[in-house]
Structure 1
Amino acid sequence: MIDPKVLRENPDAVRASQQARGEDPGLVDALAEADSARRAAISAADNLRAEQKSASKAIGKASPDDRPALLAAAKELSEKVKAAEADQAAAEAAYTAAHMAISNVIIDGVPAGGEDDFVVLDTVGEPRVIPDAKDHLELGEALGLIDMERGAKVSGSRFYFLTGFGALLQLGLFQLAVHTATENGFTLMIPPVLVRPEIMRGTGFLGAHADEIYHLAEDDLYLVGTSEVPLAGYHSDEILDLSGGPLRYAGWSSCFRREAGSYGKDTRGIIRVHQFDKVEGFVYCRPEEAEAEHERLLGWQRQLLAAIEVPYRVIDIAAGDLGSSAARKYDCEAWVPTQQTYRELTSTSNCTTFQARRLGVRYRDENGKAQTAATLNGTLATTRWLVAILENHQQPDGSVRIPEALVPYVGTDVLRPTK
C-alpha cells in the first residue's frame, strides 16, 4: 500500500504515477474520499462512545426516580453506538479496498508507458557470430541435459527433466549465486513454496496477475512464483532491528507459474515453463537506503552475468510493466543467438514501503519510533540462465564450453554430445 501521508500531501504525484502506469488516476480520488469517510466514521463512533461513557456515569449517580429515563436513553444510545461501529467497520473496509487498489508510486525518472517503452541503460559484451547456431533445446537434447518429451509425458506441456550434466550445470550455477550472495552479507534460506493468502496478497501478487498463480483451493494455499513471497512474509508483523544496516536474504526454491495468457509463446524449450528453480535476493532496509540498495542488487546481478560470460543489456522498465509493488525495476537481458534478441535473465525491484506496509514490517528509527521498512528483491540465478549459457557457448562440433567460473561445480570444461 502507498504511504497515506503521500496521498494527503501530494495527491498529484500519485495521480501522475497512475497515469504513467496506464492505470486509473480516478482511484486516487476514490481513496481520498474513502479516507475522509473513514475519518468521519471514526470520529462519529468515538463521540458516541464518549457520550455513552458519560451516560453510564450519570446512571450510577442518578436518583431512583431519574434512573428509568436515563436507562432508556442509555439503551437508545447503545444502539446508536452499535450502528456507528458498524459504519466505522464498513468505512475501514472500503478504505482498505481503495488503498489496496492503487499501485506503488513510481520513482522519479521511471519511463512512462508499457512493455515496449523501456530504456536501455547499458549494453555489455559483443554477441558472437555463430554460423548455423543451434537453439538451447537442440543442444540440450544432444548433450543429454534436457528431456522435454518425458517431462510432458509425466506432467504435461511446459514441464521438463534436467538430466546428468544439465542438473549439474544448474546446481553449479546456483551454488555460484549462493556463494556470491553469502560473501556479500546475505543469509541463505530455503523457504516454503506454499504460502497463505495474506502473504501472497501482501506482496501484491493477487492483483492483475493473480491468474498466473497456482491455488490449492482445498488448503487455501498458493504455490509461489518466486521466493520473494515467503521471504517478504518472513518478518510480517514484526519490528526489525536495522541499526546494523539492511537485512539481506537469498532464497533458493522451486517456483511455479501457470503462464496464463502465454498460449503459443515460447512453447519450445525451457524459456517459459510452469516449474523452474531460482535463487532470489531479498532485502529489508530503511526507506532512505532503498535506492542505494537497489543499485547494489543490480551490481551483484551484473557480477554473476559476467561470471557466466554472456552478452547482456540493462534496461529500466517502464511504469506500465512494473507490476503493482515495484516503484522501479531494472532487468538484465542476455543475448540469445538463435532468437537474435535479448531475453530477460534477471529483474531487481525497489518496492519502497509498499509491501512492508501491507505485511506490517517495521523498524525503530533513531528516536525509537516504529516506522515502515522498505523491501527490495532481485534474481541471482534461474533455470532460464541455462538457455543463455548453452546458446552463447556452443561450438561448431555441437559441444558447449562451460564458463570458467562454473567448471569447479560442473566437473568439466566442455560438454560433448552423447551417443
Structure 2
Amino acid sequence: MVDLRQIEKDFDTVAAALKRRGVDEKVLEKLKALFEEKKEVQKRLEAAQAEQNRKSRLFGEYKREGKDIASLQREVSENKERIAALGEELRVLETKLLEIAAGIPNIPDPDVPEGESEEQNVEIGRVLEPRSFDFEPKEHWELAEANGWIDFERGVKIAKSRFSALRFEGARLERALINYMLDFNRNRGFEEVCVPFMANADSLFGTGQLPKFADDLFKIEGENLYMIPTAEVPLTNLFRDEILPREDLPLRLTAYTPCFRKEAGSAGRDTRGMIRQHQFDKVELVSIAAPEQSDALFDEMVDCASDLLASLGLPHRKMLLCAGDMGFSAAKTVDLEVWLPGQGRYREISSISNTRDFQARRAKIRYKEEKRNRLVHTLNGSSLAVGRTLIAIMENYQQEDGSILVPEALRAYL
C-alpha cells in the first residue's frame, strides 16, 4: 500500500508520480480533500483535548477556593462527548483514506520510463541470437498437434476453454523443466519452499491482488479461500504479521506452483495455443530484504532468470517496463521476453519486480533494527513460466520434419 503519510506530507510530488501510473485525477483530488478534512478535524480534536486538560486542572483550584464545581463538571462532560465525536469523525476519515489507498498502485521509481502501454517499454539488453531456419518455422500449436504433446480439445472437455492437457514427451518435459528450474535457483542461493496452492483473503490483500483484482481470481465457494494466481502470494505471506531479525535478511525463496487466473485472454488475445491459460505452471523467485539490499537483489533476480533462459539456449531480451505497463504492486519491473520463431516475435516469459515497502505495509512484514521496527522490501519474479518455456523450446528447437530436440541442460532430467 502507498504510504499515506508520504502522500500527505508531499502531496504534489507523489500525485505527479501516481499520475504516471494512470491514477485518475478525481481519486487524487478526493484524497487531497480528505487529507484537508482530516487536518481540520485533528486540529479541532487537539484543541478540545487541550481544553479538557485545562479544565480538568481547575477542579483542585475550585475546591480550594470553595467554588461550585457543578458547572465545571458539566462543561468537562460536554467537552468529553465532543472529543469522542471528533475521535470517531477522525477514525471514519482515516478508514476512507485507507480504502482509497488500497486501490492505488505503487509509486514508480524515478528511473521508470514514461508511458502508458507496452509500446513505451524500453529494451535494455539482449541475450543470444535467434536461430536462422532454412525452413518456415511452425508455431507451437502446430508442433503440438504433430507430436501429440498438447491436447487442447480434451483439456476443454475436462474443464472449459483455456485449459489443456500435456501428454507424452510434453508432460515429461514440463516436469523436467520444473525440476531443472528449482535446482537452478537453489544453486543460486534460493531456498526451495513448498507452499499451499490456496490462499485466504488476508494473504491476497497483503500482496495486492485484493480488493482491486477480485474478478481475476478463482474463489472457493463457501470458503475464505482463493486459488493462487502466483506463488508470490504464499511465499511473501509466509512472513505476514511478523517482525524478522535483521541478521536473517535477505531471504531468498523459490517455489513451484500451478497458477490460476480468470483474466487469461480476456481481451481476446492469444486465443490459440497455450500462451494464455486459466491454469499454468510457474517457478517463482521471492526475496525479503532490508531497504538497502533490495536494488542489488533486484539485479540478482533478473540475472538469475536470464541465466536460466540462456542455459536452455533460448534467445531473449530484457525490457524495462514503463510506468503505465507495470503491475499494481511494482515500483520497478524488468520483463524477460523470449524469442518465438513461429510467431517471429519476442513474448514475455518472466517478470521481475521490486515492490519496495508497498506489499510489506499491506502485509505488516517488518524487521527490527536499532530497537525500531522497519518495513522490509519485497521482490518477486517468474523463474520461469513453465508452459511458455516449453513453448519456446518447441519453437526454437524444432526440426524440419516437425520433431523437436531436447536442450542439453534438460536431458539429465529425462
1:199 aligns to what?
203
- Are the aligned partners of 1:27 and 1:101 in contact in 2 as well (CA < 8 Å)? no
Report the equivalent of 2:363. Answer: 359
Distance 2:260 2:314 in 1: 26
C-alpha distance after superposition, 1:324-366 (max 9, x if no partner) = 211111111111111111111100001111111111111122x
Paired with 1:142 and 1:123, the residues of 2 have a C-alpha distance of 31
Residue pairs, 1:144-223, within 5 angstroms: 144-206=148-210, 209-223=213-227
Structure 2: stretches of 5+ with no match in the other structure: none
Q: Deviations over 1:170-194 (max 9, x none)?
A: 1211112111222222221222222
Question: Number of paired residues?
Answer: 409
Match of 2:118 in 1: 115
Supply the AA of the counterpart residue of 2:87. E
Paired residue secondary structure (1:315):
strand
Alignment of 1:269-284 (within 5 A): 269-284=273-288
What does residue range 24-173 of structure 1 map to in structure 2 within 5 Å? 24-25=24-25, 27-42=27-42, 44-45=44-45, 48=48, 66=68, 69=71, 72-113=74-115, 114-130=117-133, 131-173=135-177
**Native 8 Å contact 1:395 1:401 kept in 2:** yes
Aligned partner letter, 1:230: P
Q: Distance in 2 between matches of 1:274 and 1:11?
A: 39
| Residue of structure 1 equivalent to 2:322 | 318
Look up the SS of the partner of 1:149 in the other structure.
Answer: helix
Aligned equivalents of 2:246, 2:43: Cα separation in 1:
36
What CA deviation, in whole Å up to 9, does each residue of 1:216-274 have, x standing for no partner? Answer: 35213222211111222221121112324311111221110112662532122211000
2:258 maps to which of 254, 259, 276: 254
Q: Secondary structure at the match of 2:161?
A: coil
1:155 counterpart letter in structure 2:
A
Q: 2:377 aligns with which of 374, 377, 383?
A: 374
Is 84-93 or 339-348 further displaced after alignment? 84-93
Deviation digits for residues 190-211 of structure 1, max 9, x if unmatched? 2222222232123222365443
- TM-superposed deviation, 1:165: 2.2
Aligned pairs for 1:253-402 within 5 A: 253-259=257-263, 262-365=266-369, 367-382=370-385, 383-402=387-406
What one-letter code is carried by the residue in structure 2 that aligns with 1:20? R
1:371 is paired with a residue whose SS is strand
8 Å contact kept, 1:301–1:380: yes
TM-score by length of 1: 0.88
Q: Secondary structure at the match of 1:86?
A: helix
Identity %: 36
Once the two structures are TM-superposed, the CA of residue 25 in structure 1 deviates from its matched residue by 4.6
Distance in 1 (CA, whole Å) between partners of 2:48 and 2:398 is: 76
Residues 248/41 of structure 1: CA separation in 2 closer, same or farther (3 Å cut): farther
Q: In 1, distance between residues paired with 2:323 and 2:211? A: 16
Structure 1 residue 386: deviation in Å? 0.7
Q: Distance in 1 between matches of 2:394 and 2:295?
A: 34
Counterpart in the other structure of 2:20: 20
Contact 1:14 1:28 survives alignment (8 Å) = no
Which range is displaced more, 97-106 or 332-341?
97-106
Q: Please name the residue that 1:417 is paired with.
A: none
Whole-Å separation in 2 of the counterparts to 1:310 and 1:349: 22
> Per-residue deviation at 1:55?
6.8
Q: Unpaired runs of 5+ in structure 1?
A: 411-419
Which residue of structure 1 lines up, in the alignment, with residue 238 of structure 2? 234
Question: Which of 376, 395, 409 is the matching residue for 1:405?
Answer: 409
* TM-score under structure 2 length normalisation: 0.89
What SS does structure 2 have at the residue aligned with 1:346?
strand
* Counterpart contact for 2:265–2:276, Cα < 8 Å: no
1:128 Cα deviation after fit: 2.1
RMSD over aligned CA atoms reads 2.6
Moved more, 120-129 or 146-155: 120-129
Deviates more, 1:258-267 or 1:294-303: 258-267
Q: Distance in 2 between matches of 1:164 and 1:56?
A: 83
